[in-house]
């Protein structure tokens, strides 16, 4: 609607990630590099998916199952990539530990590992927000606004910003949960992340119904807060375990 509105939408989607970036990630250059590479990875996965689905677009908007299939395949692919990301991270962790030994510094702390996972997740989240919300915001800097039929109560930009915020949260913290799950071999955590991602994706299908976004968005936020709480509990548990182990 104007410059202010455009910036407002952008900050709505990316505000928490920006503050996370400034407070935690910008202090350590390695984390900035991690954010950039995980953003690139997410973008590449998105490009591959769009390449695969390009032939079928635009889908007929009457039935829902093509969209469901699209979301399902996309999420499956991205979760597969997450496992790959984890394997690469494992190797990187070994390299870093060797390097730390060589320069006689301590090996990676528990908090370091979690910070790397957080940075990876933030990269994914920022990539989502940038490509699904920010890149479409260009008209919002102009004099008018845009409404979608299915969700006509709010401007399209606002809706996409809100949804993007939820997804940023989900992506950021599910990476921490996932990495921790793979490290500990915790099956619950390992399964939790793909399931949450899939459920969140499917919930957006609810937006198809006219006025569906009234139900869809709160559901999405419920899932996001679930992820956040689970991650918080897990981190707290790990850190207190660690501290008690160090105290012994």
Nearer to other proteins, 130 or 235 (CB): 130
CB of 230 to other proteins, least distance (A): 19
Q: Which of 172, 136, 160 is nearest to 35 (CA)?
A: 172
CB of 94 to other proteins, least distance (A): 12
Residue partners of 38: CB distance under 8 A and separation at least 6: 85, 119, 120, 121, 122, 123, 124, 127
CB of 190 to other proteins, least distance (A): 19
Look at the chain and count its residues: 248
Burial of 205: CB neighbours in 10 Å, binned 0-12, 13-18, 19+: middle
Element (H, E) at 171: helix 156-184
CB of 192 to other proteins, least distance (A): 17
Nearer to other proteins, 56 or 233 (CB): 56
* Residue found by looking up tokens 């920010």 in the block: 134
Nearer to other proteins, 130 or 193 (CB): 130
Nearer to other proteins, 145 or 186 (CB): 145
Count of beta carbons in the 10 Å neighbourhood of residue 11: 12
């Amino acid at each position: 609607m104007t410059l202010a509105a455009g910036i407002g939408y952008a900050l709505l989607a990316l505000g928490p990630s920006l503050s996370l970036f400034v407070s935690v990630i910008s202090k350590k250059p390695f984390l900035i590099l991690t954010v950039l590479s995980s953003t690139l990875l997410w973008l590449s996965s998105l490009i591959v998916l769009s390449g695969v689905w390009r032939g079928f677009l635009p889908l007929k908007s009457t039935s829902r199952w093509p969209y469901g299939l699209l979301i399902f395949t996309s999420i499956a692919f991205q979760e597969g990539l997450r496992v790959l990301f984890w394997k690469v991270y494992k190797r990187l962790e070994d390299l870093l530990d060797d390097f730390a030994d060589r320069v006689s510094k301590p090996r990676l702390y528990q908090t370091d590992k979690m910070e790397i996972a957080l940075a990876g997740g933030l990269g994914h989240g920022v990539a989502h927000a940038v490509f699904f919300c920010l890149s479409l915001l260009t008209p919002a800097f102009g004099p008018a606004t845009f409404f979608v039929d299915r969700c006509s109560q709010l401007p399209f930009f606002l809706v996409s910003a809100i949804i993007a915020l939820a997804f940023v949260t989900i992506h950021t913290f599910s990476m921490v949960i996932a990495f921790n799950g793979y490290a500990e071999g915790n099956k619950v955590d390992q399964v939790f992340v793909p399931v949450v991602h899939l459920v969140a994706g499917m919930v957006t299908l609810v937006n198809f119904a006219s006025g569906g976004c009234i139900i869809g968005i709160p559901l999405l936020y419920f899932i996001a807060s679930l992820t956040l709480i689970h991650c918080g509990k897990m981190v707290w548990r790990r850190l207190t375990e660690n501290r008690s182990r160090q105290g012994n």
